[in-house]
């Protein structure tokens, strides 16, 4: 069946199928989960199932060959609207919902949704990057969410639920999406032809936090080389905060002076650090050998760890995760990096080998 194309997210699929079977489909959904795990592809498949002319909605499947399916796949279905943050813009403008200033209220998504569906079923809107709604566009959308047209289905897609205005959130059924498993990501990399190298796919998937987008970026040899060099530093017998900070800041500054790009690069280093220490903790608990040589080198020094050592190392992981969240909150990158590695050094010295 056509859902086979969607990797993972079976719980969400079954939940929606059940909701449709009970005829309890809501007018508005909010799909939440990290970037690059297939929320948009899932939402499109969902829409396709509702628009397929050979399957009833209750069957929750799509043939892929009828006019409805073909139009969804080609992005030309007259009752399906996909909007998001325009390329190069930071926010979704109000025009997206209400049309340009000279045609306010006479075009745009809210206008389109208010009309009867052309194909007779539903009008479905996917609002991608929903965290990029500004106050004005959120208010415009809110009016439609407060009184959704009877034939409409609106799916907002966002990375963090906290970034959605409470007034919008409260009008939506929230559906949370989990990161993909490492095996699923590796499979997708190979299946989608992003690489033919199974080892590279495995390494990229392991550091991807379950995001295909992140994994695809990690296929980049430079980034993998950076990860490897960072792991060398992290595995050094005595953690050298200055050396790690210097290496990371050099890498960040090499990306240029744009703050969002710098933050993205910093995010990679933080993820690598989380991967390193998390893997070390797992291997110390299970006493099973892993595949990252530097992690092996690091954890062998602990041998059979004490409870204090395990707690100390887990705290290091948590501290790095917290720093990664700070990065998203627009705190200055250099300050975050310095403070983090300074503290990680202190924390590691507090759990001596």
d(CA 203, CA 207): 7
- Give the footprint of Zn ion on this chain (CB under 5 A): 52, 54, 63, 66, 69
Q: Provide the angle, in degrees to the nearest 10, between the axes of the packed helices 259-286 and 333-350.
A: 20
Minimum CB distance to Zn ion smaller for 67 or for 289: 67
| Under 8 Å between Cβ of 315 and 281 | no
> In the bound complex, what is the minimum distance in angstroms from residue 74's beta carbon to Zn ion?
13
| Beta carbon nearer to Zn ion, 48 or 265 | 48
Could you tell me the smallest distance in angstroms from the CB atom of residue 123 to Zn ion? 18
**Tokens read off for 189:** 């990399």
What's the min distance (Å) between Cβ of 70 and Zn ion? 8
The 3-state DSSP composition of the chain as helix, strand, coil percent (nearest 5) reads 60, 10, 35
Name which of 26 and 63 has its Cβ closer to Zn ion: 63
Q: Which residues of 105-139 are buried (b: 16+ CB within 10 A; e: fewer)?
A: eeebbbbbbeeebeeebbbbbbbbbbbbbeeebbe
Our CB check for Zn ion shows the closer of 56 and 178 to be 56
The phi, psi pair for 109, rounded to 5°, reads -60, -45
- Considering beta carbons, is residue 69 or 340 the nearer one to Zn ion? 69
Q: How far apart are alpha carbons 34 and 202 in whole angstroms?
A: 20
Nearer to Zn ion, 42 or 272 (CB): 42
Find tokens 């052309």 and name the residue. Answer: 118
Q: How far is the CB of 71 from Zn ion (least distance, A)?
A: 10
Minimal distance in Å, beta carbon 69 to Zn ion? 3
State the nearest-atom distance from the C-beta of 1 to Zn ion, in Å.
12
H or E element, residue 14? helix 10-21
Question: Could you tell me the sign of the dihedral formed by the alpha carbons of 329, 335, 339, 340, in that order?
Answer: positive
């Amino acid at each position: 069946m056509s859902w086979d194309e969607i990797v993972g997210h079976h719980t969400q699929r079954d939940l929606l199928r059940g909701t449709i079977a009970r005829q309890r489909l809501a007018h508005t959904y909010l799909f939440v989960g990290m970037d690059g795990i297939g929320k948009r592809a899932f939402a499109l498949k969902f829409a396709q199932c509702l628009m397929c002319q050979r399957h009833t909605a209750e069957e929750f499947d799509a043939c892929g060959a009828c006019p409805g399916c073909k139009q969804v796949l080609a992005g030309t279905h007259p009752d399906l609207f996909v909007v998001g943050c325009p390329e190069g813009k930071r926010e979704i403008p109000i025009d997206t919902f209400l049309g340009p200033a000279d045609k306010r209220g006479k075009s745009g998504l809210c206008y389109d949704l208010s009309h009867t569906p052309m194909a007779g079923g539903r009008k479905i809107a996917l609002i991608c990057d929903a965290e990029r709604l500004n106050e004005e566009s959120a208010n415009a959308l809110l009016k439609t969410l407060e009184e959704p047209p009877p034939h409409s289905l609106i799916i907002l897609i966002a990375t963090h639920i906290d970034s959605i205005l409470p007034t919008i959130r409260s009008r939506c059924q929230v559906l949370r999406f989990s990161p993909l498993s490492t095996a699923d990501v590796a499979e997708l990399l190979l299946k989608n032809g992003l690489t033919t190298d199974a080892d590279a796919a495995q390494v990229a998937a392991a550091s991807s936090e379950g995001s295909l987008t992140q994994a695809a970026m990690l296929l980049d040899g430079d980034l993998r080389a950076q990860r490897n060099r960072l792991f060398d530093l992290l595995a050094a017998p005595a953690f050298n905060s200055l050396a790690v900070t210097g290496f990371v800041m050099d890498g960040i500054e090499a990306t240029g002076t744009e703050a969002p790009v710098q933050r993205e690069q910093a995010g990679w280093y933080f993820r690598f650090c989380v991967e390193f220490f998390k893997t070390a903790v797992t291997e110390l608990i299970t006493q099973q050998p892993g595949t990252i040589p530097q992690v092996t080198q690091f954890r062998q020094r602990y041998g059979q760890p004490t409870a204090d050592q395990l707690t100390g190392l887990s705290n290091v992981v948590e501290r790095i995760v917290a720093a990664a969240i700070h990065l998203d909150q627009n705190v200055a990158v250099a300050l975050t990096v310095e403070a983090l590695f300074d503290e990680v050094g202190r924390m590691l010295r507090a759990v001596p080998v």
